[in-house]
Amino acid sequence: MSCPFSGGSSGVVLPLDATTPFVFDNGYFTGLGTNMGLLGSDQALFLDPRTKPIALEMARDKQKFLKAFGDAMDKMGSIGVKRGKRHGEIRTDCRVFL
């Protein structure tokens, strides 16, 4: 409802978690359960029967969410940073596919 119907605006900023936008918690997932997902791809996590049980679990259990988030961040930290063409593709513009 906050986004313009056409034209767009770089001045519109909306939180992904409308219920507790200034707190790091599982509010993002509780919002999905009440159809408050900002992006269609986010709301799909709750609507898809394959991912709905996970979204429900994260919404129900804040500690489980925090643990899962921490584990995911650890895994992300183990991904090597690409440096130069020898290690893979590094895009200077992520909107352009080569």
- pLDDT at position 3 over 80: no
Q: What is the pLDDT of residues 68-81, one digit of tens each?
A: 999 999 998 888 77
Q: Mean pLDDT across the stretch 41-46?
A: 91
Supply the pLDDT for residue 2.
63
Residue 49 vs residues 55, 61, 94, 95: alpha-carbon distances, Å: 10, 19, 31, 31
